[in-house]
């Protein structure tokens, strides 16, 4: 435990096109000393999220990540030493730890989390992924029983939970995912009513066949062509929960937006609403309690994709952007 070197993965250059391993390098530094108000953390698991790539494009809901600094990223960590009231060695926390073994961060940026087993659930169903799915679907999408809900990136960490919660709420659920295997998994394992493989099927037509009564709620993780295909199929007063735009992250920013905006929004009286999970943190207790009871009852299956070794974090993100993962991807440091 008296480790003195801290492995860190730096972003050496901001990618202009696709993200590749050449944009990162491993480096070593001394384990930092916490200052007043800070805690020293040992990072246990690093969360991989498509948003990591968006942060390289510029300021979003956080400042942009900069070249030649430790790559930013959410992580589950254990407190090793504390110079902040309310935090003690052994506490588990979630925060922006970055891609490294150790970090000293101001305690005010950390959230204490309970020691739930398996710990990985704190980054998947009980972490940002689960809460994003829960709040985005229920507070923004507002589905009613019997309505049709479509979710993109449906085999991903958020999408796979969105679809299952929509089923729990009595909706017809269609997932859009890349590849036959993922699509089969959605329908046979997670209980989705239908799945559309955007890599091998004509998305507009297949979606239309899968959603013959139109779409009431579209939970959008991807933007771009898939958003464009959903727009004309939205029902009157449909809701589009804008969660992310994965299709736009890994490359040059798109020169255009989806056709039909704002025309279809007017005609169909649609609501498109963007959100970030923290917007709803005042309702977190209820969300945790619901998610826990659904997992316990077997109504909500948790799929995780845990990769071993800090050194594999760059490739884990590159692969996530290429759609490799099923469920929540994270790195065990």
Residues that bind a second copy (CB under 8 A): 54, 60-61, 220, 223, 227-228, 240, 242-245, 248, 253-276, 279
Q: Report the C-alpha gap between 224 and 245 in whole angstroms.
A: 7
In the complex, what is the shortest distance from the CB of residue 200 to a second copy, in angstroms, rounded to a whole number? 25
* Placement of tokens 């506490």 in the chain: 91
Question: Which helix (H) or strand (E) segment is 70 a member of?
Answer: strand 69-70
Contact in structure between 41 and 79 (CB atoms under 8 Å): yes
Which of 101, 220 has the CB closer to a second copy? Answer: 220
Q: Taking the CB of residue 247, how many other CB atoms lie within 10 A of it?
A: 20
Q: Report the C-alpha gap between 222 and 298 in whole angstroms.
A: 28
Closest C-alpha to 104, from 122, 79, 127? 79
In the complex, what is the shortest distance from the CB of residue 326 to a second copy, in angstroms, rounded to a whole number? 23
In the complex, what is the shortest distance from the CB of residue 58 to a second copy, in angstroms, rounded to a whole number? 9
In the complex, what is the shortest distance from the CB of residue 62 to a second copy, in angstroms, rounded to a whole number? 10
Closest C-alpha to 241, from 138, 125, 327, 127? 138
Which of 86, 263 has the CB closer to a second copy? Answer: 263
In the complex, what is the shortest distance from the CB of residue 241 to a second copy, in angstroms, rounded to a whole number? 10
Which of 126, 219 has the CB closer to a second copy? Answer: 219
Q: Report the C-alpha gap between 240 and 232 in whole angstroms.
A: 12
Which of 226, 302 has the CB closer to a second copy? Answer: 226
Which of 99, 280 has the CB closer to a second copy? Answer: 280
Question: Which helix (H) or strand (E) segment is 216 a member of?
Answer: strand 215-220
- Alpha carbon separation from 192 to 133, 134, 147, 273 (Å, rounded): 15, 17, 14, 24
In the complex, what is the shortest distance from the CB of residue 208 to a second copy, in angstroms, rounded to a whole number? 17
Contact in structure between 226 and 248 (CB atoms under 8 Å): no
In the complex, what is the shortest distance from the CB of residue 223 to a second copy, in angstroms, rounded to a whole number? 5
Which of 213, 293 has the CB closer to a second copy? Answer: 213
Which of 17, 253 has the CB closer to a second copy? Answer: 253
């Amino acid at each position: 435990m008296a480790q003195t070197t801290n492995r860190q993965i730096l972003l050496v250059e901001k990618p202009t096109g696709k993200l590749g391993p050449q944009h990162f390098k491993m480096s070593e530094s001394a384990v930092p000393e916490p200052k007043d108000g800070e805690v020293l953390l040992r990072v246990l698991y690093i969360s991989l999220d498509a948003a990591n790539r968006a942060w390289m494009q510029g300021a979003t809901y956080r400042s942009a990540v900069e070249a030649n600094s430790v790559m930013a990223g959410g992580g589950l960590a254990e407190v090793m030493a504390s110079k902040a009231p309310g935090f003690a060695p052994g506490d588990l926390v979630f925060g922006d730890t970055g891609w490294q073994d150790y970090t000293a961060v101001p305690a005010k940026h950390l959230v204490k989390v309970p020691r739930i087993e398996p710990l990985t659930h704190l980054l998947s169903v009980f972490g940002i992924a689960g809460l994003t799915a829960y709040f985005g679907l229920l507070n923004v999408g507002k589905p009613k029983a019997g309505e049709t809900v479509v979710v993109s990136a449906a085999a991903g960490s958020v999408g796979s939970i969105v679809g299952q919660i929509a089923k729990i709420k009595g909706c017809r659920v269609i997932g859009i995912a890349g590849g036959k295997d993922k699509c089969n998994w959605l329908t046979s394992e997670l209980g989705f009513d239908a799945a559309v493989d955007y890599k091998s099927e004509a998305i507009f037509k297949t979606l239309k066949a899968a959603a013959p009564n139109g779409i009431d709620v579209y939970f959008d993780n991807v933007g771009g062509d898939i958003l464009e295909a959903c727009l004309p199929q939205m029902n009157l007063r449909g809701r589009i929960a804008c969660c992310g735009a994965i299709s736009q992250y890994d490359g040059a920013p798109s020169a255009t937006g989806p056709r039909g905006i704002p025309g279809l929004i007017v005609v169909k009286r649609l609501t498109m609403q963007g959100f970030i999970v923290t917007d709803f943190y005042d309702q977190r207790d209820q969300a945790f309690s619901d998610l826990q009871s659904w997992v316990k009852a077997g109504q909500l299956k948790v799929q995780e994709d845990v990769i071993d070794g800090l050194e594999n974090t760059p490739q884990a993100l590159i692969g996530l952007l290429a759609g490799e993962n099923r469920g929540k991807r994270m790195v065990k440091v």
